[in-house]
Structure 1
Amino acid sequence: MTAEGSPRTDSEAQEPIGDLVQRASQQLSQLVRDEMRLAQAEMTEKGKRFGKGGGLLGGAGLMGVLTLQALVATMIAALSLVMDVWASALIVTAVLAAVTVLMAVLGKRQIGKASPPAPEQTINSVKADVAEIKEKAHR
């Protein structure tokens, strides 16, 4: 009987341990190769989906820019009903420029707060941990 309580077959009882280990090793190797092929196929499929999704998002971004351009043209046309076209275009351009400058200043400020790009709190915490470990080691 085997360790699990099931009776051994004659072929299993007569098969040398070396052969059993070799067969188990081959089966494990085959299992690993099969799992790697499965993982590769899955990642290929996911990569294709990411590519399609990225392309669609890029197209949506382009369409968004075109939509904003149409909105700007609409604002200019609406203002041109009460003033000259050149004046309405100048006003819309000035408003867009002001928004651009505001966004650039705010973005620069946020980037300044993120600099340097190192995890300073974590570094300081690790340094404190190392110092404490050294202190306890010397006691």
Structure 2
Amino acid sequence: MADPTHASGSHAAGRDDIPTQHESTGQLVADATEQIGQLVRQEMALARAELTQSAKKAGTGAGLFGGAGLVALYGVAALVATAIISLDLVMPLWLAALVIGVVLLAVAGLLALVGKKQVSEAAPPAERTVHNVKADIDTVRGGNHP
């Protein structure tokens, strides 16, 4: 069985540990702070590595899109050449090339006009926003100075 004097001695020893526990708590807080800082640094390093990997994949994807665009351009050029050769069956080659060139320039001009219209329609909302912000500023100033 347990000795009662030994139990009280143990209990007294537990009380002697209280200052040590306070020191241990302080040490634990210091350790936790250090570990949190280390964890944040590790998470930042992981995020940096993930962003680097993501940027590399995005760069590769952009390069592949560029390559696809270049190949598509060659495909369109081949179709243009086919159209010229086909028209050569009913007219001289130089005239066939001229007709296809004029058609392509007309399509390019049409696309430019539609694009210009879209750009000009996009500009007024920004002007309206600037006007609205100026009106808001005037309202606030008017509210502050009765």
SS of structure 2 residue aligned to 1:110: helix
1:33 to 28, 41, 63: 41
Kindly report the root-mean-square deviation, in angstroms, between the aligned alpha carbons of the 2 structures. Answer: 2.5
Alignment partner, residue 4 of structure 1? none
Identity of aligned residues (%): 46
Instruction: Give 1:29 deviation, angstroms.
Output: 1.1
> Which ranges of structure 2 fall in alignment gaps of 5 or more residues?
1-16
2:139 to 109, 132, 137: 132
1:24 to 32, 40, 60: 32
Alignment partner, residue 52 of structure 2? 44
Task: Tell me the TM-score normalized by structure 1.
Answer: 0.77
Instruction: Give 1:79 deviation, angstroms.
Output: 1.1
Alignment of 1:85-100 (within 5 A): 85-100=93-108
Instruction: Give 1:73 deviation, angstroms.
Output: 0.6
Change (3 A) 1:135 1:45: same
Task: Give the total of aligned pairs.
Answer: 129
Query: Greater CA radius of gyration, 1 or 2?
Result: 2
Instruction: Give 1:90 deviation, angstroms.
Output: 1.3
Q: Would you tell me which structure has more helix in proportion to its own residues?
A: 2
**Aligned-partner Cα distance in 1 for 2:58–2:39:** 28
Task: Tell me the TM-score normalized by structure 2.
Answer: 0.74
Change (3 A) 1:129 1:21: farther
Q: Indicate whether 1:63 and 2:78 are aligned.
A: no
**Partner letter of residue 130 of structure 1?**
I
Higher mean alpha-carbon deviation, 85-94 vs 118-127, is at 118-127
**Partner letter of residue 35 of structure 2?**
Q
SS of structure 2 residue aligned to 1:68: helix
**Aligned-partner Cα distance in 2 for 1:41–1:125:** 43
Instruction: Give 1:120 deviation, angstroms.
Output: 2.3
Instruction: Give 1:17 deviation, angstroms.
Output: 5.2
Q: What do residues 31-73 of structure 1 show as CA deviations (whole Å, max 9, x unaligned)?
A: 1101110101110110111011001000000011000000001
